[in-house]
Amino acid sequence: MGTKILVIGACGQIGTELTHKLRMIHGTENVIASDIRKLNNDVVNSGPFEVVNALDFNQIEHLVEIHQITDVYLMAALLSATAEKNPAFAWDLNMNSLFHVLNLAKARKIKKIFWPSSIAVFGPTTPKEMTPQYTITEPSTVYGISKQSGERWCEYYHHIFGVDVRSIRYPGLISWSTLPGGGTTDYAVDIFHKALNDGRYDCFLSADTKLPMMYMDDAINATIKIMEAPTEQIKIRSSYNLAAISFTPETIAEEIKKHIPNFTISYKADFRQKIADSWPASIDDSQARSDWGWEHKFNLASMTTDMIDHLR
């Protein structure tokens, strides 16, 4: 039997592009998209789609059985800024959806899991520059706490039950194809929309807030690459550091001005500033590069050009 994939949270920021790419690789009929509601969008209309509540074990198990699923990509989550407004629900969604797929793999109903972690696992006490793979993780956000706990459970299920779960710590992700989804790094998506539509942007972070970022194309490639790697190459079963570019709002604004000379930006930090301040400025991802051959393609200039071309 070949690979049959279930993407949970397929209509989200990452899920959308991931589903399209997986369908290109494995064939449309072999990639089942699912989300909490059926939207009228590309993902829903371009192939098999199921409505599923990621908190309902029986629903997920049913889909796994009827579609003979081998691999699950669990992309459903409440992101950093949104999670701070609804901590109990964020914890429930981010943790219990993970337990559901881990338990299905433990019962040998699925073979492989991809679960995304995040730079949010790091906290104010983590070394800021070139944050190492193994370091202090004392997250100060609900999102970060859930991701850190998830990492521990992934490693536990691998060691104790032999579950093949793979994970990467995403930095901030930038994409032209979906709108911001409630993350702290989403300013770097919004800024492009506002630059093209309004010619100005009011940034909710300070000018010099440096954060690790990545173009969505690179993130999708990394996700698929780690899932395709032979089992023995995956040496870390909590989650791999992943990096591409780090920049500040000021730097990206300057880059945008090369394309839109009259663009202006102003800064008014809100509650998200505190979240950003607790995260690293740059990430050491040398283990992902050596273990399974990760490399990024987009730098700040090529990403900015591609974003503006697509949005125009």
The residues annotated with a catalytic role in the active site are 143
Residues 6+ apart with CB under 8 A from 309: none
Under 8 Å between Cβ of 226 and 234: yes
Q: Where are the alpha helices (DSSP H) in 239-278?
A: 249-257, 271-277
Q: Can you read off the two tokens belonging to residue 151? A: 């990492």
Euclidean distance between CA atoms 239 and 135, whole angstroms: 12
Quick check: 167 and 113 in contact, CB under 8 A? no
- Which residues does 143 contact at the CB level (< 8 Å), separation at least 6? 77, 78, 79, 80, 83, 84, 90, 94, 118, 120
